Amino acid sequence: MPFVIIAKEKLGRGGEKIRTTELSGPTLRIGRGTDNDLHLDDHSVQLHHAVIQEEDERYVLRDRNVLSLTSVNDMPVTETVLPETGTIRIGPYTIRFARPTPAAPLTIEYEVLGEDEHAVEAPLSMAAPRELPPLPPSSMRDEKFHAVAVYTLRGRYLNKTAIAVLAVLVVWGGSVLVYALGKHVMFMPGSISVKHRLFANNCAHCHPAWQPVFTVVPDKACLSCHSGPPHFSERAFGPAPQCASCHVEHKGQAALVALDDSTCLRCHADLKVREPRIPITTAIHSFMADHPEFAISVSRVGYPVQRVGLNEGKQVVDSAAIKLNHRLHLKPDLMGPDGPEQLSCASCHQADPQGAYMRPVKYEKDCMRCHLLDFDERLPGKTVPHGQPPEEVDRFLRATYAVYYLLQHQPDLQTQGLARRLPGGPRPQEKAWVSGMVEGSERLLLGPIGSKTKGKCVLCHVLDRPEGASPVTAFGRAKTDARMVESRASFPAVVKTAMPERWLPYSNFDHKAHGQLKCVACHEAAPLSERTKDVLLPGIASCQSCHFESGGARTQCLTCHGYHDRSETQMPGDQPYPIEQFKQGQNSPQSIPVGR
């Protein structure tokens, strides 16, 4: 039991109440707070003012506050070992302590102060140690302090109105400044494409002022620099859409050129056209959903050109006037000029330098190696010219045989000399010989297909023979010279082959891009085709096996189609400008004559 606390409380009329408390713990807490062992109720005492602790049979007083208002025997202390007896002063309290023997508990005695005793006590007798100046009389006046006002949000200039006015001035003033400095790019709604960046600070270069909502940049602004080939406009009902309605600027480079299907579908989802079946369908929404089968143009005598879908069976006809048997050509061990060989697609079909399309098949390049137009075994290596009308072939043969005759009869001619034939005299021998040779050769070339040399022209070409001409004497020529001259006009005509260079002229295709595939992967029917009229193009299903939405290769309209009819492409801008003038916008719409 280290501590005994004796609290004395004065009662009225000199009475006194004494309360004794015994503490068993080693620590005695002193302070204003009610949780202290020694509770001293006065403002000048701190909540937890000090502690006295028993340590090795000694009692140590520790001031727990930074501010020490504690003194032991009138000496201010922060930490001290208490002597046997003495007084501790804390605020208005005087606490006497005593410890008669080291083994005895520390006895503490104090007086509980009454209400009035907290008030001001009599002035202390001692004068201030320092020389203090007298205070002005006003110092002790009654004052009202406005503590709340001090801590309220207030500032002379820092109020909402001032900030708002400043911010508005910054926004408007900044806008005017930016405009004045010519940085008009700051007013652009969205980034401009790389190609138009040169004019980014000159809005008026393309934009006329005060355009109604929904209007786009007028076409003449675009056409001042760009050629814009029309889009089959002669067939459309309404006017063609404006350039800027599809080529959206201020949405980045991609948006300007890589157009979305939606731009096409605006019209093609429900197309108004003048001519039926061109294009073959007027309502299309996507490649997978309702794109029609690919269509080719078929021309028949007496009918207008018609678009025929590849799925329209017998109507799908290759009307080219050329005879070709694909199956035969792809036969193994086909006899070539140097023996048996195996032809492939690429033996005849080769891509153009860009690799996109196949070059048209030409005799000299693709056929001649095997199909030589030789006509007489006595003249090895001599071939009739290809691509010439029969009249020319006739002339060529005539000249060739005449030279041959001369060379054969050179010794005779040298000895006899060239005797001039008298009018009406007998026909010279060599002319008759040449005519005979020519006729024989022509019979071989144009006659029915037979041996190796027979019917070489008609093997591939179709002849338009004059009426009444004998099928055997192909040229319909009579024996007499007079009739021969007359019959010159009746040479058969070779029907124009009319092989289409592009089957699907309204779409684009790149063979090179599809080079990983075998030819027959798409042109499935080619190895089995025996007739020219077979159209060997792959249908839409073939494309759709790779090109499909969500996961497949691209299916956008512009993957295959182009909007502009490039067949009529003209050079852009027929008003060329020097660089500086161009940059300064000399070619702006304002400087372009209207109606261009």
Partner 1 sequence: MKAPNGSLEAAKGTLLMYGSSRYLKGAVAGAGALFLSYSYYVRTTIPSGSTAWGLVYGWMGLGAILVLMFLGIRKRWYFSRLGTLQGWTSAHVYLGLLTLLIIPMHAGFQFGWDVHTLAYVLLVVVVLSGIAGLFLYLTVPGVLTTHESGMLPDKLEAEIDQVLKEMKQLAAAEPLVFQHLYEEEARRYRELTSRGWRILFTRIDPSAILAQRMHELRNQLVDSLVADQEGFSRFAGLVLRRTELEAYLAAQMRLKNGLQAWLYVHVPFSIAMMAAVSVHLLVVLYY
Which residues in the 85-114 window bind partner 1 by CB under 8 A?
89-92
Q: Binding of partner 1 at residue 123 (CB under 8 A)? A: yes
In the complex, minimum distance from the CB of residue 458 to partner 1, in angstroms, rounded to a whole number: 58
Task: Give the span between the Cα atoms of 108 and 22, in whole angstroms.
Answer: 10
In the complex, minimum distance from the CB of residue 139 to partner 1, in angstroms, rounded to a whole number: 5
Residue 506 burial (C-beta neighbours within 10 Å; 0-12, 13-18, 19+): middle
Q: Determine contact, residues 306/298, Cβ cutoff 8 Å.
A: yes
Q: Determine contact, residues 82/52, Cβ cutoff 8 Å.
A: yes
Segment near partner 1 (CB under 8 A), from 158-166, 231-239, 372-380, 519-527?
A: 158-166
Task: Give the span between the Cα atoms of 402 and 429, in whole angstroms.
Answer: 11
Whose Cβ is closer to partner 1: residue 196's or residue 382's?
196
Stretch 518-557 residues interacting with partner 1 (CB under 8 A): none
Whose Cβ is closer to partner 1: residue 265's or residue 273's?
265
In the complex, minimum distance from the CB of residue 128 to partner 1, in angstroms, rounded to a whole number: 4
Whose Cβ is closer to partner 1: residue 127's or residue 407's?
127
Q: Binding of partner 1 at residue 45 (CB under 8 A)? A: yes
Stretch 192-221 residues interacting with partner 1 (CB under 8 A): 203, 207, 209-211, 213-214
Contact with partner 1 (CB under 8 A): which of 46, 193, 224, 587?
Answer: 46
Residue 542 burial (C-beta neighbours within 10 Å; 0-12, 13-18, 19+): middle
Cis omega (within 30 of 0) for bond into 279: yes
Contact with partner 1 (CB under 8 A): which of 11, 153, 407, 482?
Answer: 153
Residue 468 DSSP class: T
Segment near partner 1 (CB under 8 A), from 13-21, 122-130, 326-334, 392-400?
A: 122-130
Segment near partner 1 (CB under 8 A), from 17-25, 107-115, 183-191, 425-433?
A: 183-191
Enter the tokens of residue 144.
Answer: 């009202």
If you write DSSP's letter for every residue of 461-503 in order, what string do you get? B-EEPPTT--SSSTT---SSHHHHHHHGGGPPEEPP----S-S
In the complex, minimum distance from the CB of residue 283 to partner 1, in angstroms, rounded to a whole number: 16
Contact with partner 1 (CB under 8 A): which of 76, 340, 385, 436?
Answer: 76
Task: Give the span between the Cα atoms of 82 and 57, in whole angstroms.
Answer: 11
In the complex, minimum distance from the CB of residue 552 to partner 1, in angstroms, rounded to a whole number: 17
| H/E stretch holding 405 | helix 390-408
Contact with partner 1 (CB under 8 A): which of 33, 37, 41, 44?
Answer: 44
Number of residues that bind partner 1 (CB under 8 A): 81
Segment near partner 1 (CB under 8 A), from 142-150, 338-346, 369-377, 556-564?
A: 142-150
Enter the tokens of residue 15.
Answer: 């009475």
Contact with partner 1 (CB under 8 A): which of 1, 164, 181, 495?
Answer: 164
Rg (CA), the chain: 58
φ and ψ at residue 366, rounded to 5 degrees: -110, -25
Whose Cβ is closer to partner 1: residue 227's or residue 253's?
253
In the complex, minimum distance from the CB of residue 16 to partner 1, in angstroms, rounded to a whole number: 23
Whose Cβ is closer to partner 1: residue 171's or residue 305's?
171
Stretch 241-270 residues interacting with partner 1 (CB under 8 A): 248, 250-252, 255, 260, 262
Whose Cβ is closer to partner 1: residue 24's or residue 139's?
139
| H/E stretch holding 149 | helix 147-150
Segment near partner 1 (CB under 8 A), from 163-171, 399-407, 421-429, 524-532?
A: 163-171
Whose Cβ is closer to partner 1: residue 122's or residue 489's?
122
**3-state SS of the chain: helix, strand, coil percent to 5?**
30, 15, 55
Q: Binding of partner 1 at residue 139 (CB under 8 A)? A: yes
* Buried-state track 425-438, b at ≥16 Cβ within 10 A, e below 16: eeeeebeebbbebb
If you write DSSP's letter for every residue of 57-120 in order, what string do you get? TEEEEEE-SSS--EEETTEE-SEEE--SEEEEEETTEEEEEE-SSTTSPEEEEEEEPPGGGGS-
Task: Give the span between the Cα atoms of 415 and 3, in whole angstroms.
Answer: 170
Segment near partner 1 (CB under 8 A), from 136-144, 298-306, 360-368, 441-449?
A: 136-144
Contact with partner 1 (CB under 8 A): which of 27, 53, 71, 87?
Answer: 71
Alpha-carbon distance values, 428 to 105, 128, 296 (Å): 171, 167, 58
- For 485, what's the count of Cα atoms within 13 Å in the CB-facing half-sphere? 2
In the complex, minimum distance from the CB of residue 259 to partner 1, in angstroms, rounded to a whole number: 9
In the complex, minimum distance from the CB of residue 360 to partner 1, in angstroms, rounded to a whole number: 40
Longest distance between any two alpha carbons in the chain, whole Å: 190
In the complex, minimum distance from the CB of residue 116 to partner 1, in angstroms, rounded to a whole number: 14
Q: Binding of partner 1 at residue 146 (CB under 8 A)? A: yes
Enter the tokens of residue 404.
Answer: 């041959």
Whose Cβ is closer to partner 1: residue 285's or residue 362's?
285
Q: Determine contact, residues 61/89, Cβ cutoff 8 Å.
A: no
Whose Cβ is closer to partner 1: residue 120's or residue 571's?
120
